[in-house]
A and B are shown apart, each in its own frame.
Chain A
Amino acid sequence: MAQPCVDLALTDEILERYPRAEPSLIQVLQDVQRAYNYLPCDALVKVAETLEVPLAKVFSVSTFYKAFALDPQGETIVKVCTGTACHIRGADMLVEELERQLGVGPDQTTEDFKFTVKTVNCVGACAMAPVVIVGEKYWGSAKPSRVEKYLAEGGRDEN
């Protein structure tokens, strides 16, 4: 698979933080995901070697959990919560509006790699339904008419 070259020093650093055994796998993968914004296959090979877990099992875990992406993601991840409270308060309309504005649907990334749209499970802010999270910023009582504003203000959370 064609993937950009990655600096594996980051992976080595992460592996230093945990015991070198299978139970550390998911924590390691989460740090790798955060460091590279996805799980590069070279990094996964390194993780398998170092933790002494068969590569097939590392791959199995990487594809089982929603927190992980195997392809490079956009700079900013836009998450629309599809929990029950958000669903009945119109989460679908937010997803549709995002598609209209960005041209991509859930689990897709814009061509310029600026945004990836995702639908996510309940984020636990149900009293503020419906919720959109742009980067690290939560927008409660979200409306399709304000989607442009959410995207423009970007994802840096001053909170």
Chain B
Amino acid sequence: MRIESRADFAAAQTAARERNAARRQQVLVCCGTGCLASGSKKVAEAFSAEIAARGLDAEVGTFVKTTGCHGFCERGPLVVLQPLGILYTRVKPGQVPRIVEETLIGGEVVPHMLYKNPVNGERVEQYGDVPFYAHQVRVAMRNIGRIDPTDISDALAEGAYEGLARALFDLTPEQVLEEVAVSGQRGRGGAGFNTARKWRSCRDAEGERRFVLCNGDEGDPGAFKDRSIMEGDPHSVLEGMVIGAYAVGAHEGTIYVRDEYPLAVVNLSIAIDQARQHGLLGVNIMGTGFDFDVSISRGGGAFVCGESSALMRSLEGKTGEPRAKYVHSTAKGLFDAPTVLNNVETWAGIGAILAHGGAWFAAMGTDRSKGTKAFSLVGKVKNTGLVELPMGTTLRHIIYDIGGGVAGDRPFKAVQTGGPSGGCIPEQLLDLPVDFEKLTEAGSMMGSGGMIVMDDRTCMVDVARYFLAFLTEESCGKCVPCREGLTQMLQIFDDLCQGRGRPGDLERIERLARAMQLGSLCELGKSAPNPVLSTLRYFRSEYEAHINDRACPAGICRELTAYEISPDVCDGCHVCFTSCPVDAITGTVKELHTIHHDACISCGACFDVCPTGAIRTFPKVELEKEAV
């Protein structure tokens, strides 16, 4: 079981593949956090029970496997049948006997359970043909959805640790560094710093003891690719870290996981135990004499701990206050020792780079942004989930061809990228190829890959305010520009969204934004003005309406918006009546309904449910004018 030579590794891989081949049919049930929330565990149990009851496991070698997140969470629970390659969506335990009977045994599909393409209404049989998956090029996410993350044999069968074998048996640490340099990989956590350059600085730094760390603190709201990787293919992270440790001469590492990702902690722990048992981690890895071991550390619930120096302080048992990085952490990092910190997705790509070569990776992507990137496409889009694509793919392709377009076919307004450090990209820039430079030029940022689609029912001033409120909560409070600046900026925005905007607000915002960008200690404060500045750049008229007209053009800001029902359109269906949380609507069935303005809280619930579009928004100030 313990791998102590190259021959052992080859044998382990072969044994794993033979075991899988004996399973002539596989039922892959997604058990990532999203599908679990939809009840996929019961679906997996139903399959196991039904298959055992039918004796299929013994006769045909049918095997039920629970996998990590496929990324198509909204259509979960997701089930893939191999080797047929069929994908079923929204599977319920009650449907399992039929699937077993008709598809596993009968070889026929159950049409209404297939994925239905929202663009053309067609049912798609093959997993690989679903546009959501067809367009993807999965490198960091290569095995997620195909393997059981709690079974190392499965990972080995799919090529895990091949990169490590090549690194340890065929290459020197310097050559490993070279390979990563050829790949051109840049960090996938947000900063996009060249991986090989970072490793080289650490390698060249002084000090016996050094560390490699994994940043699993994925704090950008809207991003969940790291969760998916840690839950669904923890071995890809471990493999990357061992390779990195070998390249820089480290023997200790830690994976820092957000407190909010309990399943990731569980699956990583299992993977670490199994890797150690197999000699792929710990002492004398694969019999080469190289030692490296990892531990897991849970975050305490602080977005700022995604910042590298704050993360290291957290690992030292302290509060997550960043420090000025005039001395880089590759020279003095954790416990003042040379440290390499990389993101989960960055580590996950390393094994593939070593296995297939740096040139293979560099052949994908754009001039300065090589390889592939994972994106979490969420918000007002039809197909929400995780996708991995070559850098340089356009926003339009991602949102429309893969995402299926805006939910409810409402007009597209903007796509927000880069989390609280990023910005909003408007319709006229939809053909922008996604890479580090292009997004920054457009006033946004790659960040960790979150892409939040927004429709016309989004107020861009409110979006900026939302991010400011988030950051105000998360600021560590050490430096004046961020701590005081965010509070004051948020105050201005609260005033704007509640009708208390005054002339000169935009100038005040811009002055404060500049000081925060230049004067803040860390990137949290420095990039905090980005959502503000990007929405000002592309949606200035919305700001002006809030200030000059006390109106919210999108009809979202509650203090500025009133609702009313059009007499010509209302058919008295009574649905709005039930939806109103404060009973502000009166009316009897089949009769015109009325919204009472004094009771109405402008939450928009009625607007969202009205089937005939009879409800419209208008500026609340008009009510006051009427009253006068």
Stretch at the interface among A7-15, A56-64, A70-78, A108-116: A56-64
B298 touches A27 (CB 8 A): yes
Q: How far is the CB of A16 from chain B (nearest CB, A)?
A: 17
Q: Which residue of A lies closest to B377 (CB)?
A: A127
Contact B42 A126 (CB under 8 A): no
In Å, the complex CA distance between A123 and B320 comes to: 20
Contact B317 A53 (CB under 8 A): yes
Which A residues are within 8 Å of any B CB, using their own CB? 21-27, 29-30, 51, 53, 57, 60-61, 64-68, 82-89, 92-93, 96-97, 100, 120-129, 131, 137-141, 144-145, 158-159
State in angstroms the CA–CA spacing of A83 and B416 once bound together.
13
Known contacts A84-B221, A139-B37, A140-B34: A27-B72 contact under CB 8 Å? no
What 0/1 pattern do residues 233 to 248 of B give for CB contact below 8 A with A? 0000000000000000
User: Which residues of chain B are near A26, meaning CB under 8 Å?
Assistant: 297-298, 300, 314, 317
Question: Which of chain A's residues have a CB closer than 8 A to the CB of B605?
Answer: 93, 144
Beta-carbon contact of A127 and B34 below 8 Å? yes
**Chain B neighbourhood of A121, CB < 8 A:** 219, 221, 260, 301, 303, 470, 474
Asked whether B302 lies within 8 Å of A65 as measured between CB atoms, the reply is: yes
Q: How many A-B residue pairs have CB under 8 A?
A: 169
Contact A30 B298 (CB under 8 A): yes
Instruction: Give 29 CB contacts A-B under 8 Å.
Output: A21-B317, A23-B317, A26-B300, A30-B259, A60-B319, A64-B300, A64-B476, A65-B301, A84-B378, A84-B452, A88-B379, A96-B581, A121-B301, A121-B303, A122-B223, A124-B33, A124-B224, A124-B260, A125-B224, A126-B223, A126-B376, A126-B384, A127-B376, A128-B38, A128-B74, A129-B378, A137-B37, A144-B581, A159-B36
Cα distance, A53 to B318, chains bound together (Å): 10
How long is the Cα–Cα vector from A25 to B221 in the complex, in angstroms?
27
Whether, in the assembled complex, B450 has its beta carbon less than 8 Å from a beta carbon of chain A, the answer is: yes
Interface residues of B (CB under 8 A from A): 33-34, 36-42, 71-74, 218-224, 227, 259-261, 297-303, 314-320, 376, 378-380, 384-386, 416, 419, 450, 452, 454, 458, 463, 466-467, 470, 474, 476, 579, 581, 603, 605
Q: How far, in angstroms, from A26 to B315 measured CA to CA in the complex?
A: 8
| Cα distance A121–B224 in the bound complex, in angstroms | 12
Q: Select one of A23, A85, A87, A141 contacting B316, CB under 8 A.
A: A23
* A88, A100, A138, A140: most-surrounded residue (chain B CB, <10 A): A88
Q: Which residue of B lies closest to A140 (CB)?
A: B37
A68 to B467: give the CA distance in the assembly, Å: 23
Nearest chain A CB to B377 CB, angstrom units: 8
Give the docked Cα–Cα distance between A127 and B379 (Å).
8
Give the shortest distance, in Å, between A7 (CB) and chain B (any CB).
24
Per the bound structure, the CA–CA distance linking A22 and B334 in Å amounts to 13
Contacts of A24 in B (CB 8 A): 317
CB proximity of B446 to chain A, nearest CB, Å: 16
Q: A123-B260, A127-B34, A144-B581 are in contact. Are A27 and B297 (CB under 8 A)?
A: yes
Question: Is the CB–CB distance between B302 and A125 below 8 Å?
Answer: no
Q: Are B73 and A128 within 8 A (Cβ)?
A: yes
**Complex contact B379–A84 (CB within 8 A):** yes
Cβ–Cβ < 8 Å partners of B581 in chain A: 93, 96-97, 100, 144
Query: Which residues from B are CB-within-8-Å of A127?
Result: 34, 71-74, 224, 376, 378, 384-386
